[in-house]
Chains A and B, each alone.
Chain A
Amino acid sequence: DVKVTQSSRYLVKRTGEKVFLECVQDMDHENMFWYRQDPGLGLRLIYFSYDVKMKEKGDIPEGYSVSREKKERFSLILESASTNQTSMYLCALFNRDVFEAFFGQGTRLTVV
């Protein structure tokens, strides 16, 4: 089975901090995604990446950036954390072989 691992389950950060959320896959899949999940809003796409060093903005990229230096790792960066970025963050990859998205366990970020 494909495994997607997010480095932290829970994080508490202060306003203005630079925050890194890490996501690692154990296979060689090109397509990786970062979503945020908020009650009543479902999953909203922040950024996605088709390959190393490639990135595309999703629906809500403001206040975020990403990094993909190696295929297995896709990092989400909050340049200057704000309280409205308190949310659940989900990393996912797309497995073309079975046409399915696989998700990490999620990181619940609280910005105080």
Chain B
Amino acid sequence: AQSVTQLGSHVSVSEGALVLLRCNYSSSVPPYLFWYVQYPNQGLQLLLKYTSAATLVKGINGFEAEFKKSETSFHLTKPSAHMSDAAEYFCAVSSGNQFYFGTGTSLTVIP
């Protein structure tokens, strides 16, 4: 069975501060891991994905995530938050053809 836990349903950061969104996964097989972003009233778009290549994955808009097998984690970071980063972020795990999503983290950026 596979599952994803996102710690913190709401995260607030100041503009220019570090963004850290946490994701832990459970998987019985080597996982593929993803971060998706959702802007208001839109669908989800891919930020980045881990597919068993480099453990540090760089995505769009300056985001990156590090796969840590020993901690079963795939936390999302960005060194400096922008106002445009305010959105809902979803971590997901996949094996085969199915995706399992976390409950999401809403990021607020304070000017």
Contacts and interface: CB of A to CB of B under 8 A. Distances in A.
Interface string A36-49: 00001111010010
Interface residues of B, number: 23
A31 B97 contact: yes
B47 to A, nearest CB: 11
Given A94-B97, A99-B32, A42 B43 contact: no
B103 A41 contact: yes
B49 A100 contact: yes
A108 interface: yes
Contacts of B92: 101
Contact of A105 (B43, B46, B90, B101): B43
A100 B43 contact: no
A42 B99 contact: no
Name, among B6, B42, B99, the residue most crowded by chain A CB atoms within 10 Å (CB to CB).
B99
B44 interface: yes
Q: Which of B6, B32, B44, B103 has the most CB of A within 10 A?
A: B44
Contacts of B26: none
A101 B104 CA distance: 17
B51 A99 contact: yes
